[in-house]
Structure formats: C-alpha cells, structure tokens
Amino acid sequence: MAEHVCPVWVGYLLLSPPRKLWESPRKVLGPYMSPGMTVLEPGRGMGFFTLPASQMAGPEGKVLAVDIQPKMLQKVRAQGAGQRG
C-alpha cells in the first residue's frame, strides 16, 4: 500500500457520528446533487458520504464510490452501501 495513504484507523474516526454535527453530508452534497444523478465518489473511505449520496441520488441514480484500500471498501460493504448495480 502507498506510504502516504490515509490509515484505516483514521477511516473509523472519519465515520464517527459526531462528525455530522459540523459536516452534514446532506448539506455538503445538497447544492450539487439531485435525484437520478450518477455520482463519482473517489476516495470514499469507510463511506461517510456514500450512503447519504446514494439516498440523495434515489432509485434512478447511482453512486460509483471507489477507494484504493480494500479495508475501507469492506466497511462500506458491511453497511450495505455500494451493492446496487
């Protein structure tokens, strides 16, 4: 793995619920997203933005969320995000 990539333990920190108090995914993404969109989320980490983005994209939309670290992807899969075709 690359030497300077975000450590997996930081991924858990970034996923912690209190983060929503100062960085609401819906507020951050709201001006840029609308239902039916296809969205690319590079470096999704453990998915802080992924599930909200998927909900905002709606059943007609799609979120293509990628990460270079398999351990980050496992956490997102465990949450049920990223499974929609």
Ligand X SMILES: C[S@@+](CC[C@H](N)C(=O)[O-])C[C@H]1O[C@@H](n2cnc3c(N)ncnc32)[C@H](O)[C@@H]1O
d(CA 15, CA 37): 24
17: nearest Cα among 60, 38, 46, 41: 46
| Smallest distance, ligand X to C-beta of residue 57, A | 16
| Smallest distance, ligand X to C-beta of residue 65, A | 9
| Smallest distance, ligand X to C-beta of residue 63, A | 12
Which SS3 state, helix, strand or coil, does residue 41 take? strand
User: Site residues for ligand X, window 44-63 (CB under 6 A)?
Assistant: 44-45, 48-49
Contact between 69 and ligand X by CB under 6 A: the answer reads: yes
